Homo-oligomer: A and B are copies of this chain.
Amino acid sequence: MTAFAERLAAAVRQQKTPVVVGLDPRYENLPTSLQSVEQGQNPAHRASAYSAFCRGVIDVVAPLVPAIKPQAAFFEHLGPAGASALADVIRYARDRGLLVIVDGKRNDIGSTAAAYAQGYLGIASAWGADALTVNPYLGDDSLQPFIDTARANAAGVFVLVKTSNPGGGRFQDLVADGEPIYRHVARHVARLAAEDAAASGFGTAGAVVGATYPEQLAELRGIMPQSWLLIPGYGSQGGTARDVAAAFRSDGLGAIVNNSRGIIFAHRRAEYSERFGESRWQEAVEVATRQMIAELRSDTPAGAL
């Protein structure tokens, strides 16, 4: 099977956009037709509502974008029933040709990290994801099982480098040996990516870099020239197309930009709620997706795709 970095490049080129749709289901925000007054507190009901909702989003976005990013936390929030819904959503998305990046921010040490990696990465794994986000705090040896397993299964890894939250700098920005911690992490990711960069120029090791820090995006693009950057923080968190422009190579590859609430809960946004209402929520998803695609085409090198 073709390496993940190459499959991602092909999918971005085919859809002519780097937009990733984040699946962050929250029961209170679902269209009312999927909520139940009697069953609202039942985790099994909530999980099946999450499945139905995410399938509905996938039906809309599969022809438009290269990948989706389910957020493990919102599924795990429901307990085991949520885990089943997550597996269902991953399978449904893959069957429709989408790449699936599970946002789990997992990590542990040694053989425990390997258990996570083997459980999530690759079509033959239990969860069957194409890629997983991982946390670097436990060190380089904790990242290695993810990289090794990803390479063996044509899957990808996105290492948290610089996160989009206001307090992300609390430890990431501490300066050691003249460089902030996030840059130490970035240099390690860059070395890993260089080890197996393929035709597109990208390797297995990607990075998560928040849209909310535009200068650091440019800096990190430079430090990790062979890494795909997964960029959260667009839209609801304040990141704009101009903010993320520096994350791309001139050919429009190299970065994928996630939007969760701004797309999946578009029916709740002021500009769409009146136009579509609750019942036409899927049309709101489509319009919001197309709008973000247009923004990135107009204001970033993604226009060259």
**Contact: B168 with A119, CB < 8 Å?**
no
Contact between A73 and B112, CB atoms less than 8 A apart: yes
B73, B116, B175: the one contacting A116 at CB < 8 Å is B73
**Interface range on chain A (Cβ under 8 Å from partner):** 35 or more
- Closest chain-B Cβ to A202's Cβ sits at a distance in Å of 23
With both beta carbons as reference points, the residue of chain B lying nearest to A103 in the complex is identified as: B108
Is A240 at the interface (CB under 8 A from chain B)? no
Q: Which residues of B contact A120 (CB under 8 A)?
A: 76
Q: Does A259 count as interface, using CB distance less than 8 angstroms?
A: no
- Say yes or no for A34: interface residue by CB 8 A criterion: no
Q: Is the CB of B177 within 8 A of A135?
A: no
Whether the Cβ atoms of A165 and B137 lie closer than 8 Å is no
Contacts of A87 in B (CB 8 A): 79-80
Q: Does A77 contact B (CB under 8 A)?
A: yes
Residues from chain B with Cβ under 8 Å of A164 in the complex: 109
Q: A26, A76, A82, A111: which has the most chain B beta carbons within 10 Å?
A: A76
Task: Give 28 pairs: A residue, B residue, CB < 8 Å, sorted on A.
Answer: A71-B115, A73-B113, A74-B112, A74-B115, A76-B115, A77-B118, A77-B126, A78-B126, A79-B87, A79-B119, A80-B83, A80-B84, A80-B126, A105-B106, A105-B138, A135-B137, A135-B138, A137-B172, A138-B160, A138-B163, A138-B165, A139-B169, A139-B170, A140-B167, A142-B163, A142-B167, A176-B176, A176-B181
User: Besides A24-B112, A73-B116, A138-B167, 8 other CB < 8 A contacts?
Assistant: A77-B116, A78-B119, A105-B107, A109-B163, A137-B172, A138-B163, A139-B167, A142-B165
